[in-house]
Copies of this chain bind each other. A is one copy, B any other.
Amino acid sequence: MLRISKITDYGTLVMTRIATRPERHFSAAELAEGLGLGLPTVSKVLKTLARHGLVNSLRGAHGGYNLARPASAITMAEIIDALEEQPFGLTECSASAGVCERESDCRIRVNWLHINTVVRRALEDVSLADMAEPAHAVRHEHPLRGPDSRSKQTVS
């Protein structure tokens, strides 16, 4: 639920690792070894990332992968988009067609879209370079809301 798949999780690990040495190529086997993951799995992740243009692949002996762009120019949103099958969005809406059509007329949907936008922007705001950096790299003002304040009743 509201959780990225393991594949995507592995993807961030792999990408972060590759980002540590922009100059060289990493073979799938080397990455699997270094990260303690299965070779087939890492290989699958890398293929997908390559297909989406996030890493360059070099085939043949001495081949391997490296970042297609500087780590600072790759966002978490892109990595997630590449590795998750379904298109981005917290709700489906369309799938259960026939539900939303009914009398409620689904004004809810509009607000879900807004929530989606916020979530997505959060993911676009974090670059791969940020992920490799210790914490402070991620811009982040309000560490957590205070327990109060909510329910201020919007009233745009």
Which residues of the other chain, B, contact A99 by a CB distance below 8 angstroms? 13, 35-37
Interchain CB contact under 8 A, B9 and A1: no
User: Does A23 interact with chain B (Cβ within 8 Å)?
Assistant: no
Considering the complex, which residues of chain A in the window 13-65 have a beta carbon less than 8 Å from any beta carbon of chain B?
A: 13, 16-17, 34-37
Given contacts A115-B123, A138-B111, contact A145 B153 (CB under 8 A): yes
Residue of B nearest to A70 (CB): B151
Q: Given A103-B34, A111-B131 in contact, is the A89-B3 Cβ separation under 8 Å?
A: yes
Complex Cα distance, B155 from A148, in Å, reads 11
* Copies assembled: 2
The chain B residue sitting closest to A17, CB to CB, is B104
Cβ contact within 8 Å between A104 and B16: yes
Q: Are B85 and A107 in contact (CB under 8 A)?
A: no
Q: Is the CB of A135 within 8 A of B119?
A: no
Give the residue of B35, B111, B139, B152 whose beta carbon is less than 8 angstroms from that of A154. Answer: B139
Q: Which residues of the partner chain B approach A36 to less than 8 Å between Cβ atoms?
A: 98-99, 102
**Would you give the shortest CB distance from A131 to chain B, in whole angstroms?**
5
Q: Known pairs A36-B102, A114-B138, A144-B156. 4 more at Cβ < 8 A?
A: A107-B133, A110-B135, A119-B122, A146-B154
On A, residues with C-beta under 8 Å from B are 1-6, 8-9, 12-13, 16-17, 34-37, 72-73, 75-76, 80, 84-86, 88-92, 96, 98-99, 102-104, 107-108, 110-112, 114-115, 117-119, 121-127, 129-156
